[in-house]
Amino acid sequence: MKRLLVVAAIVVIAVPALAGSDILRIDGAGYLKYDMKTGKVTPVEAQSRAVGPPLWITARTYVNYFWASDPALGEAGLDWGDIDDSRPFGGFGFSQFTNSQASSGDLWGVILMYEEENGHDSAGRVYTVGYLIDNIPGSTHTPTEYWGYYWAVEVFDPFVLDGSDLDGDGLGDFGYWQFFSVQDAGALNGPGLCGLLGQDPNNLPPECPGIEDAFDLFANPAWLADWNDIDPNNLSADFAGTYYFGGGPNEFSQFYFALYAPVCPNRGDSGKYCEADIDGTFDCMVGLGDLAQLLGHYGCTSGCGLLDGDVDPYDVWWPGDGDVDLADLAELLSQYGDDCTLP
């Protein structure tokens, strides 16, 4: 059985939507950087780079946030999407909320990633990699408020999600499962923020292909006592059902998650960590191959992602605007010649 890596850093039939009493609002959010080597948690500004640019991310903006499973009952949520399975990932991002007053280090979370995953208790899912996130700080706000954090975790052994194309869209299918511990009675420590994307589910952002307005719920109270009781290879034993988020017309939700390119060790001459390294080599240099990649998609008006050449506007957390035009060409040329491999 694969072990978790301890990091220092329904056929859709009538299933119930979550009742209003089960949805708890989030009162705010901050940003944290998690150092896997030391386990140190450091608050950072939103624009601080902790990882490479996102290659898969649920959305850039959110209409609202809410909570969809109760960790105090041993519940965990799994969501899914599609990804180009040729890409190595050097980090991942998730979000977590809490009103716990526990001391820093008393809370922890587990993130599992799967291939062959398309939700609805996928029969053939394959466990790929898992992470224990410890040293999660308690809330600095009152217990009546629920505050969340976006986490950015760099991994030092890049992973690949190369599952089969289960839904026929040309991309591999993957999923992500999240569980967070609860220490103090009556407190909550949430398994990720959900975003009401506020748009037609048939017209989703290019950054998050393959998602749908549903999630799988799993429950096992034993997880509360010891993360070692989580069996990544036997999730179905604790499957509780598939649920819709239950948004209104043209509202769409997904557990927040991100997959990041490997981070470059140097900012380069432009200071932008070779974010325009888009030719798929991830060699942390911006050159002719990257320019050719952009020009091959030049004129795309919507639906293009970072590796298609959508590098403008430059943003270390949510780059691009879905098209490839003159602004993107100018941005790449501003980084042309950058070598971000130097120590």
What tens digit of pLDDT does each residue of 201-251 get? 555 556 677 877 788 999 999 998 888 889 999 999 999 999 877 666 556
How confident is the model over 158-175, as a mean pLDDT?
Answer: 89
pLDDT tops 60 at residue 60 = no
Q: What is the pLDDT of residues 250-292, one digit of tens each?
A: 566 788 888 988 778 788 899 888 889 998 777 889 999 999 9
Tell me the mean pLDDT in the region 141-146: 81
- pLDDT bin (cut points 50, 70, 90) of residue 296 is very high
pLDDT at 173 over 80: yes
As a whole number, the mean pLDDT across the chain is 78
pLDDT at 122: 92
**Mean pLDDT for the stretch of residues 125-150:** 82
Percent of the chain, pLDDT > 70? Answer: 73
Q: Find the mean pLDDT for residues 162-182.
A: 90
Any idea which of 7-21, 26-40, 179-193 has the lowest mean pLDDT? Answer: 7-21
Kindly report each contact of residues 59-63 with a partner whose C-beta sits within 8 Å and lies 24 or more positions away, as own/partner: 59/195, 59/197, 59/205, 59/207, 59/208, 59/254, 60/205, 60/207, 60/318, 62/193, 62/195, 62/196, 62/197, 63/195, 63/196, 63/197, 63/198, 63/251
Residue entry with tokens 């060790």? 265
pTM for this prediction? 0.78
